[in-house]
Amino acid sequence: MPTSKTTTWLNTVDPYLIKRLALYKALFITTLMVYAFWLMRPNNLTAFVVPIFLMAFYEAPILKTYREKDFLFGFMSIALIVGGVSFYLLFPFKFYFLFYALAYFACVYYFVNKWFPSIKALTMLVVINAAIETGTTPAASLQIVFEMIFASCLSFAIIFVCFKKLPNKNTSIWLRALTKYIACLEQEIAMLLSSSPKTFLYEEVRHINMLRAYQSLIPKQHIMHAHRIGVCIRNLQFALDNSLTEQANDVFWHAVQKALQQYRIAIEKKRPITLQTIELNKPSALQKQVLHYLKTTSIHWNKLCKIL
């Protein structure tokens, strides 16, 4: 069916829901900015629109805390306003403008490299957006400067309020990464039982990195349960790796694989879970640890599920 094909395609190009949630925020913010433009009528459209294109960095998973994101937002706001105003005022003086532009580029690059080394592309975008203001006419007008500052501040204020007031959906991204990581564990158990070589380490690492990136960005009431779930699932991975050092128990690991599948389906459908008891006559210390991790994970998931 067309709907299922579309869903499959979306899950392929956007496996963690990041792009779809970003689109939802972008459409909402853009709509508000259109209404703000109709009501406030800022005369400098460029200064009003430019901040929208740089706000993608705010949503980037590279920044792992809201403190870093807010600091980046403040830095971009100051850099764009200062750059736009100074480039506009100095552009008529071509000789001085050349040296100032080089100095501005060096300063922006220095601070970006110092505070945000993983997004150095921000330097060129800030400088290019500042350079766009050189085409504003008439040149070197204080009225234009005030209009430019007003339009930029209005735009940044709307965007910042929207980012803070929109519902936090990062738990959905974290849960999507968790289900994919659990699916990798299921496949790893299947390979262990069939004595096949492990071939998907890259996928596991990618899912783990996504879990780490978004764990501190989810709502505060979810963090404790998410942390405990993440620790237990990761410990299951370690236990699975250590299982090679003891005598194989196919029945036990089949039961663990089934429990993980049951757990993954419960997360995908966002419903509580009751894991079936895994009976063992003489469980080893490793097997006892695995059972403990499964039980702890289900307890914290059920608590998290109640507040989602």
For residue range 204-228, what is the model confidence (pLDDT) as tens digits? 888 998 998 898 899 999 999 999 9
Please tell me whether residues 204 and 75 are part of one structural domain: no
User: 149, 165, 181: which is the final residue of a domain?
Assistant: 165
Does 67 fall in a domain?
Answer: yes
Q: Looking at residue 87, what is its pLDDT?
A: 93
141, 268: one domain: no
**Domain range enclosing 103:** 11-165
Q: Look at residue 198 in the predicted model and tell me its pLDDT.
A: 62
Tell me, what's the pLDDT at 246?
Answer: 59
Q: Give the pLDDT confidence score for residue 60 in this predicted structure.
A: 78
Is residue 43 domain-shared with residue 183, that is, in the same domain?
Answer: no
Q: Is the peptide bond before 138 cis (omega within 30 degrees of 0)?
A: yes
At 162, list the tokens.
């929207």
Q: For the chain, how far is it from start to end, CA to CA, in angstroms?
A: 30
pLDDT number for residue 151? 93
Residues 143 and 222 in one domain: no
Same-domain pairing of 175 and 119: no
Nearest to 181 by CA among 292, 264, 256: 264
Cβ proximity of 47 and 152 under 8 Å: yes
Give the integer Cα–Cα distance in Å for 227 and 22. Answer: 24
Q: In whole angstroms, what is the distance from residue 34 CA to residue 158 CA? A: 11
H/E stretch holding 166: none
1, part of any domain? no
Taking the CA atoms of residue 104, residue 109, residue 114 and residue 115 in that order, the dihedral angle to the nearest 10 degrees is 90
Is 143 in the same domain as 217? Answer: no
The CA–CA distances, whole Å, from 194 to 176, 188, 242, 275, 283 equal 27, 10, 17, 25, 22
For residues 199 and 110, membership in a common domain is answered with: no
**For the chain, which residues score pLDDT lower than 50?**
1
Same domain, 217 and 105: no
What percentage of the chain carries pLDDT values higher than 90? 41
Co-location of 196 and 300 in the same domain: yes
Do 15 and 158 share a domain, yes or no?
A: yes
The number of folded domains in the chain is: 2
Asked whether residue 6 is domain-assigned, the answer is no
pTM of the model: 0.87
Q: Do 93 and 187 share a domain, yes or no? A: no
Is 208 found in the same domain as 179? yes
Domain membership flag for residue 2: no
pLDDT for res 3:
64
pLDDT for 278 equals 75
Question: At CA 44, angle to CA 41 and CA 47, rounded to 5?
Answer: 115
Within a domain: 282: yes
Report yes or no on 229 lying in a domain.
yes
Q: Measured between alpha carbons, how far is 176 from 172 in angstroms, rounded to an integer?
A: 6
Which residue among 165, 193, 208 closes a domain? 165
Q: Which of 219, 40, 75, 63 minimizes the C-alpha distance to 160?
A: 75
Domain boundary among 165, 189, 211: 165
